[in-house]
Structure 1
């Protein structure tokens, strides 16, 4: 497969990314309830286009996105970036898009001056955990039973890696 075009999100991507978010919702990775109408806008004051990278399909439609932000507003924490969302359209899965987005996020974090990147993933989400581990992320902590989802307690797994 050819490497997908990864670009910064634009304000006009909001409706398509919102639809992608709704289409990819799953209890395997979501701690929020399944979105129901009326839907909130994808972008808001806490979720700005500049926080997202978009994988663009050949026809220009978003095939996936990743959200990359500082984990806190503290000056002493500004060397860290955190992935707070990754989604790939069902029709685009198995084409290396999630891996390309992950690598692009790491490169963008370095461009922003970060030396470390982290993320949180639900314990049962083995495909995501396998992907992250293959890209150098290691488990740095586990909050056992942190969430009660779909009738069971689910671990919150914290992963991270250095950026070089």
Structure 2
């Protein structure tokens, strides 16, 4: 597999079934605080829309996605975007696809006039934290023991980076 075949594009309504299947496939207690989603559960549900997602395709097949949105509806916060979902198909991991998706989300946010990108990641998700650090994100705060997952308290780590 090679990133030479990588296409990152805006999601469209017709991607929903493949996105739902991927979201269900990659669900893990390492990265998710919500219940496991069924493979046929709606992705575009009124809170999430196709224009919030960038899709990664390798050889014409869905390999990953990233979702970035304004963190609040406030005008005073309009210059910030937040990554609220990143997934890479297990067979496509280790090739730089996650980093390519994060950088594409940052570029798209910058093109929309955003100055900052933020995200939240579980404290025990060391692979994701390393990925975000490689992409220039730094820890900006920690909410200790924010989640109780499988009987263990897990920190919520807030990370951010400038886009300009």
Rounded to whole Å, the distance in 1 between the matches of 2:24 and 2:38 is: 9
Rounded to whole Å, the distance in 2 between the matches of 1:48 and 1:158 is: 24
2:98 matched to which residue of 1?
Answer: 98
User: Which of 30, 33, 39 is matched with 1:28 structurally?
Assistant: 30
Rounded to whole Å, the distance in 1 between the matches of 2:92 and 2:100 is: 12
2:115 matched to which residue of 1?
Answer: 115
* 4+ runs deviating over 3 angstroms: none
1:50 matched to which residue of 2?
Answer: 51
1:19 matched to which residue of 2?
Answer: 21
Once the two structures are TM-superposed, the CA of residue 33 in structure 1 deviates from its matched residue by 1.4
Once the two structures are TM-superposed, the CA of residue 135 in structure 1 deviates from its matched residue by 1.1
Once the two structures are TM-superposed, the CA of residue 36 in structure 1 deviates from its matched residue by 4.1
Aligned pair count reads 162
Once the two structures are TM-superposed, the CA of residue 13 in structure 1 deviates from its matched residue by 0.4
Once the two structures are TM-superposed, the CA of residue 79 in structure 1 deviates from its matched residue by 0.1
Q: Is contact 2:3–2:97 with CA below 8 Å preserved after alignment?
A: no
What are structure 2's unaligned runs of at least 5 residues? none
1:126 matched to which residue of 2?
Answer: 126
1:67 matched to which residue of 2?
Answer: 67
Rounded to whole Å, the distance in 1 between the matches of 2:90 and 2:69 is: 25
User: Which of 6, 9, 16 is matched with 1:7 structurally?
Assistant: 9
2:76 matched to which residue of 1?
Answer: 76
Q: Is contact 2:106–2:163 with CA below 8 Å preserved after alignment?
A: yes
Rounded to whole Å, the distance in 1 between the matches of 2:45 and 2:58 is: 25
Once the two structures are TM-superposed, the CA of residue 57 in structure 1 deviates from its matched residue by 1.5
Rounded to whole Å, the distance in 2 between the matches of 1:136 and 1:95 is: 18
What is the DSSP-based 3-state SS (H/G/I as helix, E as strand, rest coil) of the residue aligned with 2:44? coil
Rounded to whole Å, the distance in 2 between the matches of 1:8 and 1:150 is: 35
TM-score normalised by length of structure 2: 0.96
